Amino acid sequence: MAINFHPAIGTIVACDFNGLNTPEMTKRRPVIIISPRFRNRDSLCTIVPISTTPPSKIMPYHYKLILDPPLPKPYNNPICWVKGDMIYTLATERMHMLFIGKDENGKRIYDNRIVEACDLIKIQKCILHGLGL
């Protein structure tokens, strides 16, 4: 189910890139929210994607992010790569909380995860490299 709020900076959510065209992202994948909530812009988030596949050549805009514990399946590789050269501003209707399972009462449980501040600073530096700044 799509979220209807702007998550905090550093929150990891799933984003559905369906409808974009190659070489853009084209599938659902985890992303990190990198923008604050702006007044009158609640339904947009700027994000940076995460991949569980290492880049063929590691560049200054890539960041190796180790998640302990790993994200829920199918993103459960503890080593992820932030793609700082591929930031997007997309609607929150494309964003979904990462689903873990259900509790004993059948209520959904979500992985509410925020990247550590030290990792977020390094990710922001990678984004600057990706923008050529």
Residue 3 lies in a domain: no
Residue 4 lies in a domain: no
Instruction: List the one residue out of 41, 27, 36, 123 whose CA is nearest residue 81.
Output: 123
Length of the chain: 133
pLDDT (average), residues 18-22: 87
Q: Give the count of domains, the chain.
A: 1
Q: Is the pLDDT of residue 60 over 90?
A: yes
Residue 17 lies in a domain: yes
pTM value is: 0.93
Question: Which pLDDT belongs to residue 77?
Answer: 94
Q: Is the pLDDT of residue 20 over 90?
A: no
Look up the domain containing 55 and give its range. Answer: 11-130
Residue 65 lies in a domain: yes
Instruction: Indicate the average pLDDT of the chain.
Output: 93
CATH of the domain at 26: 2.30.30.110
Question: Which pLDDT belongs to residue 2?
Answer: 83
CB 50 within 8 A of CB 66: no
pLDDT digit string, tens, across residues 74-89: 999 999 999 999 999 9
